[in-house]
Amino acid sequence: MNLLFRSKKLIIKAYTYKTTAFKLFTVAKSHHFYPDWWKKIPAFHEEARGALNIKAPTMKNCGGIIDIYKKGIILPLWSDLQFRVGENNQWAGGFSDLDTLQPSSHPRYQFGVNNTEFNNCAHVKIDSPWLFVDVNKTGVSFLEQGSFWNNIPSQHVFQVCPGVLNYKYQHSVNINAFLATNIPTEFVIPANTPIVQMIPLSERELELQVELISQQDWYSMNDIHATAFFYNKYERLKKIAMQKETQSKCPFSGLFSK
């Protein structure tokens, strides 16, 4: 093996200021979150067919379920989260932890004022107390998606939106979701429920490190991405970072620096 061209390990450093999230409901590699209902079902089901007893596999043998929990990182809820959904797209939501930023919503115009696809649903944004950093600056993209198999009871009313992001150019781990508003209901998603999964779109070896930091340090890490621009924040900050990277790699850059 040519070590000069060996791929950098994908090291994700997860930072939080919230002690309960760090000690009780920490982010972890996905294999720690196989659903309890899935663990309890037998691997095979036997049933009589005439004179024969046929052994048929259950979901315990499903490669799709087994393999998805071998990939990436899962973030569990750090607090109970309650929602009440009413008519005309009205909703209310809140965490039992009052120090957590409460759920918010993007304005309706972002989805198209006349777009009927969203008539029976309302957008929800959840700001998590975690920041992820791509330590080796690999730029690997992650697929962020809901942890479907851990949230079967609420799937008909609460769906996490999928998206692709990376933790080289930004560090927030926010969750966008939609509530179904066509049927009035009220429900609670308990603390420690796996809410979102980040799957790296890479074959690099993944290492996860977790650290508790002060709230001041946490806000300092997140500040540049929260306040710099009115719009297109991610793309504009990414462009600036890439320009700085290019300049730093130029062998003559030091000749023109102050």
- Alpha-helical regions (H) of the chain: 19-23, 36-40, 63-68, 215-227, 233-249
Tell me if 73 sits within 8 A of 33, measured CB to CB. Answer: no
CA angle at 207 for the pair 205 and 212, rounded to the nearest 5°: 165
Tens digit of pLDDT for each residue in 202-223?
A: 999 999 999 999 999 999 888 7
Tens digit of pLDDT for each residue in 42-91?
A: 999 988 888 888 899 999 999 999 999 999 999 999 999 999 998 777 89
Residues 6+ apart with CB under 8 A from 139: 166, 168, 169
The pTM (predicted TM-score) of the whole model is: 0.84
Tens digit of pLDDT for each residue in 13-43?
A: 999 999 999 999 999 999 999 999 999 999 9
* 132 pLDDT above the threshold of 90: yes
pLDDT band at 115 (very low <50, low <70, confident <90, very high): confident
| Nearest alpha carbon to residue 200 among 168, 160, 238 | 168
Domain residue extents for the chain: 8-27+73-245
Residue 232 identity (one-letter amino acid): N
For the chain, give percent helix, strand, coil, nearest 5. 30, 35, 40
Residue 137, token pair as written in the block: 């600056």
Residue 226, token pair as written in the block: 């929260």
Tens digit of pLDDT for each residue in 171-189?
A: 999 999 999 988 889 999 9
